Amino acid sequence: MRFKVAALHFAVIVFSLTFSTVAQARTIHLVGFGDSLMAGYQLPQGDGFPEKLQAALKAKGVDVSITNAGVSGDTTTGGLARIDWSVPDDTDGVILELGANDALRGIPPEQSEKNLDQMISRLRGRGIAVLLVGMMAPPNMGSDYAERFNPIYQKLAEKHGVDLYPFFLDGVVLDAGLKLDDGMHPNAKGVDVMVEKMEPAVTKFVGTISSVKK
């Protein structure tokens, strides 16, 4: 009987140590890959989207680190050119946010879709999960352009079976008080709104990565 009790205690200790080791190894490494909206254009250090998102997730007990790989002015063509070396091999997942500058420059949506398609394929080929972040064409580009541009994110998400957050600037784009004087980029309060709205989707995304890593 004493042997059984001792064996049980030993098993509990081993399980606890194993669980502790696994828990410590559960930090999920994400990369926020995008343009100035991701980079934190004209915002103080620490006020960018990846930094504030990481803080919000950690506050909710989600063990995650997020690297800011946003480059102001980047297009999907620029992103495709740097995707391989900007995303380290130990990355678990990428929050892929590009396309706003394509729309502002009137780049054919078909080209943007092709570039994003290749980026997703390259990341997944490396075993890296993707959360695709959608954008919408500005009104001044006209309805024809919008009808060609806006659906590409949903199409790509369905094609590759990746998670999609439909619109990065949700809750901010129509509120001047949440944007910088240029009327396009979010200010610190705007980033807070973006983080609050997107946090549930990222938490779900991290959860799918964690379940695969187990």
Active site residues: 36, 182, 185
Compute φ and ψ for 85, nearest 5 degrees: -95, -15
What is the C-alpha to C-alpha distance for residues 57 and 140, in angstroms, rounded to an integer?
A: 36
The order of strands in the sheet holding 163-165 is 64-70, 28-34, 93-97, 129-133, 163-165
Q: How far is CA 196 from CA 24, 48, 56, in A?
A: 26, 13, 8
Contact by Cβ (8 Å): 37, 198: no
Q: Please compute, for residue 30, the number of CA atoms within 13 A of its CA located in the half-sphere on the CB side.
A: 31
Contacts of 124 (CB under 8 A, 6+ apart): 130, 160, 162
What is the C-alpha to C-alpha distance for residues 186 and 191, in angstroms, rounded to an integer?
A: 6
β-pairing verdict for 28-34 and 64-70:
parallel
